[in-house]
Amino acid sequence: MNDIDIYKQVEKNINELAENGVSFSIPVTHEEIEAYINTREKDFMPPSEWIPSNITGMKVLLLAGAGGQQAPLFAAIGADVTLIDMSDKMLERDREVAERENLRIKIEKGNMCDLSRFDDEYFDFIVNPPSLFYVPDVVPVFKECHRVLKNGGIFMMIAPNPINYVCDYDSEKNIYVACNKLPYISQEKEDQGDWIEYGHTLDSYIGGQIRCGFSIIGFYEDRSGEPCDTYFATRAVKNQFAL
C-alpha cells in the first residue's frame, strides 16, 4: 500500500471514530474552557509548567490535533492557534467550538508530514497530541516541525509507549503477552482489517527528534492506565542547526 492509499484509509478510519463519538472527538464545553483559563490544568493538555505563561499572541500549531479539545483551550488563553488535521469530521468539532465560543482558530485540512503551506520559522510552539502512530515514518514530521519553528521554538509530542505494541492482551489468562516486534505495523496482522497503525521505537521518537535538530528538555510518562497502555511526552527546543 502506497502512502496515498495509507492516508486515505487513515482519514476514513478517523472519520468513523469521530462519527461514533470516540473520547478524543468530544468537544470541550464552555465550563471546561472557563476552568482551563483559571487553572491551566486539563487531563489531555500539556502540563501547565510546559506552557508559557505569556502565551498571548504566540503562534501555536496543533499538529494532527483536531477534535474540539486542545485548539479551543489554547485559543481561549490567548494563543494565535493554527490547527491542521486530515479528518473532516474531527475538524468539524473545532469549528463548532470556535463558533460557539467566538474563538479565532485557523483550521486547515492537511497531512502532518507536509507543512509546505507554512513559512520557515513561522511558529513559536507546536503541540502534537497522540497521532504519530498513523504515519509509517516519523522523521518527515520532525523535519517539517523543525523547519516551521522559530529558532528556540518548542515542540511538544505525546506518543504511545512502544511497549503498547509489543504486548497483546490475552483475555483468557488475563495477562499481557509480549508477542510483537518493533516497529509494529498493523497491516501485517490478519485480525486488524482496514485499521492502520504503526508502533514506533523510542529511537524513532526521541532519537529522531535529536537527529532532526531538537534538544529534548522535558519528559514525562503517563502511568495511569494499564501497564501496556501508557503514553509519554517530550518537550524539545529547536536548535539552529540540524545534526
Q: Which residue is it, cell 489531555?
A: 44
Distances (CA, A) of 54 to 50, 80, 217, 236: 12, 12, 19, 18
The DSSP H or E segment spanning 165 is: helix 163-166
Contact in structure between 65 and 145 (CB atoms under 8 Å)? no
Task: Determine the pLDDT at residue 171.
Answer: 86
- What is the distance between the terminal CA atoms of the chain, rounded to a whole angstrom? 31
Contact in structure between 200 and 159 (CB atoms under 8 Å)? yes
The superfamily in CATH containing domain 3-161+200-238 is Vaccinia Virus protein VP39 (3.40.50.150)
* pTM, 2 dp: 0.94
Task: Determine the pLDDT at residue 170.
Answer: 86
Domain locations in the chain as residue ranges:
3-161+200-238
Phi and psi at residue 52, to the nearest 5°: -60, 135
**Cis previous bond, 183, omega within 30:** yes
Task: Determine the pLDDT at residue 242.
Answer: 52
The CA radius of gyration of the chain, in Å to the nearest whole number, is: 18
The one-digit pLDDT tens for each residue of the chain (243 residues) are: 677 799 999 999 999 999 999 999 999 999 999 999 999 999 999 999 999 989 999 999 999 999 999 999 999 999 999 999 999 999 999 999 999 999 999 999 999 999 999 999 999 999 999 999 999 999 999 999 999 999 999 999 999 999 999 998 888 888 889 999 999 999 998 788 899 999 999 999 999 999 999 999 999 998 777 778 899 999 999 986 554
Q: Of how many residues is the chain composed?
A: 243
Distances (CA, A) of 49 to 37, 105, 116, 117, 159: 14, 23, 31, 30, 19
